[in-house]
Each structure stands twice: as C-alpha cells, then as structure tokens.
Amino acid sequence: LLDRLREEAGGRENTLTVDGGDLWQGSGTSLWTRGVDMVEASNILGVDVMVGHWEFTYPENEVLSNVALFKGDFIGQNVRVKEEALFGDEYIAMVEKYDGRGLYNEETGHAFQPYVMKNAGGKRIAVIGQAFPRTANANPPEFFPDWSFGLREDDMKALVKKIHAEEKPDAVILVSHNGMDVDIKMAERAPG
C-alpha cells in the first residue's frame, strides 16, 4: 500500500512517511522482542520520521537501543534529559553505548533531535517532533527516570521562529502525539 501511494505521488523522492507514535509497542510480539520486531517493520515500511508515546513503555536503555536500530529519525522537541542526569556517569555511559542517541544536545538538554530537515518533491521541509506531553502520567515513570516530557509550547514557538530564520524551509510541519484538539490550539498559537 505504501509503495503504491508513493508511486502515485511520483516516487519515493516525492514523499515522506511519518509516524505519530505507538508503533513499537502494543502486540504480543513487540512485548516479547521489546519492540525490536516493530522497529524492523518500520524500517521495512520506510518510516522516515517518528515521535514516541508508548515507545517509552520500555526502559530507557531499550528505547535507546530501538532508536539506534531505527533507520529513520526519532525526534521530539519536548523530551528533555533531566538536569541531574545530564552529568551522571551512568547515563552518559548508557548514551555512549547507543552512539550518543538519547542525548542530542547537552546545552539544551534535548534527549532527541527536536526537528530534522528533509527533502521531498524538490522542497526542503522541516519536520518538528512532539512526543506525547503527558508520557510521565500515562507510562511508568521508573522506565524513564532521566527524561522529562511536557507540552513546551513556548519552546515550540521559539523553535519554529528559529527554523524559519536559519533554515529557510519551504514548509514546516509537526509530527505530534498531542491529540488533535491540542495540536489545533498549538498551531493557532505557533505561527509558521
């Protein structure tokens, strides 16, 4: 189906395949393989960019391992490394084990890239990620003791401005797990 849809759009080079979360968790086989089977499925499907929600139902080390196996970009402007973990030897060793994934920017504390630039149809597209902001309420917080989540709307507004000023994209899109009502409000308040 994806191949057919991509062909109808003029080929792979004219499309982006994005996922809004809940892809790597939820089945018996994903439980048994700790999500690895679904990471492989997302790679076979050619998912270019995704954000997380139930992906954070696995412990941090398993999430980082899955992100390292994923061939696309796992992004989230609203996922931060807690300050006390930023300089902890145990956390740094875990991040290094997975090629630095899970500590994208020590200065800002972003756990993952907040956005990526992609090309589709000859256009430069900025794709911003928004993980489920209430992950700590919906998932067991002991699985991600070093990460914090939130809506971070002011950060979103500043990021959109920065992207427009520095990257000069043809479009800026948001891949979000906020929920439609929250996304509509955020889009109204984050121009661009």
Three-state secondary structure along the chain?
CHHHHHHHCCCHHHCCCEECCCCCCCCHHHHHHCCHHHHHHHHHHCCCEECCCHHHHCCHHHHHHHHHHCCCEEECCCCEECHHHHCCHHHHHHHHHCCCCCCCECCCCECCECEEEEEECCEEEEEEEECCCCHHHHCCHHHCCCEECCCCHHHHHHHHHHHHHHHCCCEEEEEECCCHHHHHHHHHHCCC
CA angle 48, 105, 39 (to 5 degrees): 30
Determine the residue type at 51: V
104 compared with 124, residue with greater pLDDT: 124
- Tell me what the mean pLDDT of segment 62-73 comes to: 95
Rounded to 10 degrees, the C-alpha dihedral 61/106/114/171 comes to -150
Residue 148: pLDDT above 90? yes
The residues near 9 (Cβ < 8 Å, ≥ 6 apart) are 15, 121
> Are 192 and 164 in contact, with CB atoms under 8 Å apart?
yes
Q: Is-above-0.85 flag for pTM?
A: yes
Q: For position 104, what pLDDT does the model report?
A: 80
Residue in the block written with tokens 């979103």: 156
Q: For position 47, what pLDDT does the model report?
A: 98
- Tell me what the mean pLDDT of segment 109-122 comes to: 95
pLDDT band at 89; cut points 50, 70, 90: confident
